[in-house]
A and B are shown apart, each in its own frame.
Chain A
Amino acid sequence: MTTVALPPVHTSSAAAGRSRLWRSEWTKLRTVRSTWWTLFAMAVVTLGVAAIAGATVSHNWHTFNVAQRATFDPTGITLKGLLFSQLIIGVLGVLVMSAEYGTGTIRSTLAATPRRARVLAAKAVIVGTLSLVVGEALSFSAFLLGQGLLRSPAPHALLSQPGVTRAVLGGGVVIALLGLFALGLAAIVRHSAGAITTYVGVLLVVPIILQTLPSSFSQPILKFMPFHISDVMTSVVTAGQGSSLSPWAGAGVLGLYALAALGVGGYLLVRRDA
């Protein structure tokens, strides 16, 4: 074989190392089809729900009673599809980590970067950025599509109205934070099926179980559940003020979920055998 001298590494600074890791994680993410399938599925459900909601509300507006008309939230209704996207981004976030364990590539990855916390940090940067960009793009598209389909006499929302831009931006933020939460879960659980089950359990199953319990017990917990928070964050008109966190506090709680999962996942990644 021929030995080819490699050019020296020009920049050995920490920053250069970081950006190399980011590029590598981006290469991994964009070179598997599951990434594009999950993003495609998110687009279909988010925009699909926005279109259906806009069209059916316009069609059925005459059947709405006074109370329904008073609390009608044209922003929130067109962003409901993001709930499905939250489940799907979880799959993407999980796979970024668990697929490495499933296929054994985690060994190549960690041999190339023995400072393991940096690997998870780079994955978080890539997953966070991609899900934020995609989440915001979908949130805004869903909003615009839905508003375009809301026909008077049904009211429609404008970004310039109070709380509307906050809600639409919030949709993307929720997607990004939940993607990071799923990534952290997968670093803890390491198996795709186990991590996805845990994620869906936290998002869907726990709230359903809570709802079967006495509300004096479940209410204080329910407002910390991701779906509930995301509902508040993507709505302009919120029902039952006292039983919900504010959109900002909600975003903070979701951020804590992500941080906690990534923190524990990172600790375990460093400690455990690969």
Chain B
Amino acid sequence: MIKVTELTKRYRDTVAVRELSFEVPAGVVTGFLGPNGSGKSTTMRMIMGLDRPDHGSITINGRSYHDLAHPLREVGALLEAKAIHPGRSAYHHLQYLAETNGIARRRIDEVLDMVGLAEVARRRVGKFSLGMGQRLGIASALLGDPGVLLFDEPVNGLDPEGILWVRNLLKGLAAEGRSVFVSSHLMSEMALTADRLVVIGRGALISEGSVDDFIADTTGSYVRVRGPRLDEIARALESNGASIEPDGDDALAVSGLDIVEIGEIAGERRLVLHELSPQAASLEEAFMSLTHDSVEYHGHATDVVVATGK
């Protein structure tokens, strides 16, 4: 498991990550979401001991990365698609990594098999397609059979078949009890893969918790109400504590009251309703609204931090 505490990273005049704290527990896929430039890759590099935080700490299974005697046996990472010398073969790339951490040779063949590169193992990586390069990166991450895995945008450049393969791989790794941390700026991808979410905007935490909680707590799921006398309906609901926003030209988006309460209130005042339907915003919409907030009201980003339920 990974524990990140009050992490801050500055690059000259940009604050890439600010006071970020979260956990990546074992046995589940934790999605790491944020718009472009929100600090996901920076955070992952700091977890891997590559970039030095200005403030805060990171532990992996209770220890700092620097103190891991055989880091590849504890943490595996796919950081960038092309962190591989194009002139070297896939096998040799894995071989030099294995040698540093005392990993047996036969493990190289195993991971090459696992990612489907066994046949091209001796070919130079420069000749690989984007997807093959990505698979080799994943093979490097799996090489030491680590309990903690990080993947930075692993489906980048993959075809639908490849995306499905990665998705199932991540779930499988988590099901084996590993901590799996995967970044993406695509909410839809995370909706299908992740159990938990860590959402950041402008380097700061916006939300941490289960995917279900995330939707429930942040979408402000609302009730769509239509009727001939919308103004009166709006006034009546507002006096009962609802907050109202127009939903298109002829409907209201009502939050703060559920459909039963809205129906009762309308009935009491003999207001005819043409529609009364609960609307669950999609994960995508939730993400958009959250990260939109983090851009618009960045000074208040902490206001929307969702309880993590630990």
Contacts and interface: CB of A to CB of B under 8 A. Distances in A.
B92 A27 contact: yes
Given A99-B85, A107-B83, A4 B99 contact: no
A10 B103 CA distance: 11
Interface stretch (A30-38, A55-63, A214-222): A30-38
Interface stretch (B23-31, B65-73, B184-192, B201-209): B65-73
17 contacts: A1-B172, A12-B69, A21-B99, A25-B96, A27-B96, A31-B88, A32-B88, A108-B83, A111-B48, A111-B50, A111-B75, A111-B77, A112-B97, A113-B71, A273-B52, A274-B45, A274-B51
A215 B209 CA distance: 74
How many residues of A sit at the interface, in one of the four size bands? 35 or more
Interface string A79-110: 00000000000000000000110011101111
Given A7-B104, A111-B71, A273 B51 contact: yes
A1 B173 contact: yes
Interface of B: 45, 48-52, 65-66, 68-73, 75, 77, 79-80, 82-89, 92-93, 95-97, 99-104, 107, 110, 114, 140, 142, 144-145, 169, 172-173, 176
Given A20-B102, A28-B96, A32-B88, A108 B144 contact: no
Contacts of B73: 6
B108 to A, nearest CB: 12
B50 A273 contact: yes
Contacts of A104: 80, 82-84
A214 to B, nearest CB: 44
A103 B83 contact: yes
A114 interface: yes
A1 B84 CA distance: 24
A3 B176 contact: yes
> Which of A9, A109, A112 neighbours the largest number of chain B CB atoms within 10 Å of its CB?
A112
B77 A112 contact: no
A130 B84 CA distance: 23
Nearest to A33: B87
Contact of A114 (B71, B88, B140): B71
Contacts of B104: 6-7
A111 B72 CA distance: 8
A111 B49 contact: yes
> Which of B85, B96, B101 neighbours the largest number of chain A CB atoms within 10 Å of its CB?
B96
Contacts of A99: 85
Nearest to B76: A111
A85 to B, nearest CB: 22
Given A103-B83, A104-B82, A274-B51, 11 more contacts: A2-B110, A6-B107, A21-B99, A24-B99, A32-B85, A105-B84, A108-B140, A111-B49, A111-B79, A113-B71, A114-B65
> Which of B48, B52, B65, B85 neighbours the largest number of chain A CB atoms within 10 Å of its CB?
B85
Contacts of A32: 85, 87-88
B251 to A, nearest CB: 49
Contacts of B89: 31
